[in-house]
Structure 1
């Protein structure tokens, strides 16, 4: 049986060489192709030649206190979403918010459990690599007026303006587009849509980010409602 994991290229950026070696060994043992870097500049130069399928990065890289964040900003300049997992000892609310605002799929504390990281990596790549098995662009129609989704590119548009969403948040938003107005999207459905990448206790945070993405287009946006104990629903103003 062919191991589909082998086709995935993961870039790991970590300035601690012992930690870097541990991450690389653990990921390679799972069949991933791993490219390792100890600094932001080398990683960016490599990305200019060929982009990886996933980036795992520390925040502090050498003398650059925000090297990982700067790397994420650089990735945003490419015309395709590259999922990022941050690993860091910095666990302030501001740092975690900044990481997610820059497009991070996850922000994990150090010291990291390698087993947990590997599970999250597999789940995340299952989402981002399954486009060919899902609806192709044009075959998926949103039931919500003004909301359009491109399954092929993991991009969503609100009144023809692109929303700033991660791949997992795109999958969560898709549940509302499929269900339509007035239908409750359960917590279990939202979590299942991300293949377990989003944990139950962080769903509210991702919904808040989705709402904020809409507010950047329409500041008075208030259509995603909390259904206490059940999940969320899309409710029109009428």
Structure 2
């Protein structure tokens, strides 16, 4: 797909920063819709869903406007990737952003070059053709993959995952039994969208998605200094 095939929504209440972001993205050939507030963006989403959302956290008088927008996007059946841009860099804010499904959380002032690379990597994930049915087939009992929709099902119930988290989970689902999925493998699976220091946050979200269905879920184990593994021996009864 060409860049012109992608629709990106940018939400930023500072008109100068908004213009800078829109111009940089349009120069790369992306189709861009811009908004200065949450409500206008949500009205647009009701008609057309973008391929990617880039949003500030503070939108006008709404201190958590970007977070509220992310919550709204979760109501749609298809996962919409979000990149947050914000001066708020506390651990709590970053954790909240990722917990709401954000693919990335970038500090302001941002590097437009870094943002463009991350956008291209992210969109490459959602457009890469699949090589074979075997590659997408889950080897884990009870776990099914729907690669074309970036969805996974645990005991026939849908898991609440972002596209990036689906790609990470797929590494466990298609690996040989007992394999350790390295940090590098998990980062590579997302085309570099996920930073090394945020892998654990995404793994926690994946675990929590399983726990919504199976409260005592305990299959994904941390292999200290190496990565993570899927272990079948765990007690989920009770």
TM-score > 0.5, shorter chain as reference: yes
Cα pair 1:137 1:151 within 8 Å, conserved:
no
**Structure-1-length-normalised TM-score:** 0.92
Q: 1:90 to 1:187 in 2, by over 3 A?
A: same
Q: Deviations over 1:186-214 (max 9, x none)?
A: 22211110000011222222112211221
**Structure-2-length-normalised TM-score:** 0.92
Counterpart in the other structure of 1:20: 18
Counterpart in the other structure of 1:35: 33
Counterpart in the other structure of 2:180: 184
Q: RMSD value over aligned CA atoms?
A: 1.8
What are the ranges of 5 or more consecutive residues in structure 1 without an aligned counterpart? none
Counterpart in the other structure of 1:146: 142
Cα pair 1:157 1:163 within 8 Å, conserved:
yes
Which of 219-228 and 175-184 deviates more? 219-228
Q: How many residues align?
A: 234
What are the ranges of 5 or more consecutive residues in structure 2 without an aligned counterpart? none
Tell me the distance in 1 between the aligned counterparts of 2:48 and 2:134. Answer: 29
Which of 75-84 and 15-24 deviates more? 75-84
Which of 151-160 and 133-142 deviates more? 133-142
Q: 1:27 to 1:203 in 2, by over 3 A?
A: same
Counterpart in the other structure of 1:159: 155
Cα pair 2:98 2:202 within 8 Å, conserved:
no
Q: Deviations over 1:119-156 (max 9, x none)?
A: 110000001122xx116889832101111111011111
